[in-house]
Structure 1
């Protein structure tokens, strides 16, 4: 038997979150974020940029984290950014301090991230993770 909802849905800003505004430490993105030695490779990544020209670079965690999300979800560049915009766990994973409704970067940035983060750097990161575990 069909039963109509007794109360109308609240507007989005009054929608209650099950985790009361806090991220669960058991979420897969939170766990994976703890495994990756982001800071160990920030300096190496920063050396790829010129201090004199261009816009300020995104942090290594945002660059690598976005590429990991794209691979793990199997999404296009645009859809990856949309998923990050909608999901506080993904925003945490790429290093944001709090949830924001605006996209943290443009989808075109992923092209630059892929050029800068090559297989050699990925191998170094993987070796470091395995060595520490």
Structure 2
């Protein structure tokens, strides 16, 4: 579907710029400008010119920045200058303080820039960028290591108060006597379930001595301290009751 815009476009001077007229710090040219050590090679570049004679030369950032833009975009000298004139990010990259509509330099200046900024200087700049990024990375690693060491050196302090009011209270420590008692109860339950449909045929329900067995179990289970002989005797009785149920 295609719809024609009914409202006329505003004139160029009223065209609204994003970011409230400010450059975005996430733009690739802004990020690249922060990586390049312009000031570190300004003095070396200045030695190529006379201190008293001749017209003032273009700054090192403008010279190197223009060459980088040309290589990055793959444009001709004239097209490169036109790109810089149209793009505020490129103007910031070459060191201008504010956007200007006029070209900041002539395309013929790129010939002189290429003569003065040779491959040796470019290699120095690249090495400087790499070294600075490595140093920056090392500092971040050391900072993380220091923080880790500080955390490890911190000793335990204060008191830890635990509230066990919400802890489950029905957890039992498994013992032979308790397991046998539980097995007896489950066996009796199975007998009860089997007896229900056979109630008409079997007039008398099989005896399991469950009351006596439970009484014998509680006699030992309720004691705080149980001797070895008492425990073995109680286990023997529970086994006897289980065996009696099996014989039914």
Q: TM-score range by the shorter chain?
A: over 0.9
Q: Tell me the distance in 1 between the aligned counterparts of 2:24 and 2:247.
A: 24
Q: Tell me the distance in 2 between the aligned counterparts of 1:44 and 1:88.
A: 28
Q: Tell me the distance in 2 between the aligned counterparts of 1:32 and 1:70.
A: 14
Q: Tell me the distance in 1 between the aligned counterparts of 2:2 and 2:76.
A: 38
- CA distance change for structure 1 residues 77 and 128 in 2, over 3 Å: closer, same or farther? same
Runs of 4+ deviating beyond 3 Å: none
Counterpart residue number, 2:129: 129
Q: Extract unaligned runs of 5+ from structure 1.
A: none
- CA distance change for structure 1 residues 132 and 26 in 2, over 3 Å: closer, same or farther? farther
TM superposition shift of 1:81: 0.2
TM superposition shift of 1:4: 1.9
- CA distance change for structure 1 residues 116 and 3 in 2, over 3 Å: closer, same or farther? same
CA deviation profile, 1:37-69 (whole Å, cap 9, x unmatched):
000000000000012322101000000000000
TM superposition shift of 1:20: 1.9
Name the stretch that deviates more: 2-11 or 29-38.
2-11
- CA distance change for structure 1 residues 132 and 88 in 2, over 3 Å: closer, same or farther? farther
Q: Tell me the distance in 2 between the aligned counterparts of 1:49 and 1:21.
A: 37
TM-score by length of 2: 0.52
Q: Tell me the distance in 2 between the aligned counterparts of 1:132 and 1:30.
A: 91
Q: Tell me the distance in 2 between the aligned counterparts of 1:120 and 1:75.
A: 23
Counterpart residue number, 1:82: 82
TM superposition shift of 1:132: 88
TM superposition shift of 1:14: 0.3
Q: Tell me the distance in 2 between the aligned counterparts of 1:38 and 1:55.
A: 22
- CA distance change for structure 1 residues 99 and 53 in 2, over 3 Å: closer, same or farther? same
Q: Tell me the distance in 1 between the aligned counterparts of 2:66 and 2:122.
A: 14
CA deviation profile, 1:95-124 (whole Å, cap 9, x unmatched):
000000000000000000000000110011
Q: SS at the partner of 2:19?
A: coil
Counterpart residue number, 1:120: 120
The structure where helix makes up a greater share of residues is 2
Q: Tell me the distance in 2 between the aligned counterparts of 1:10 and 1:20.
A: 17
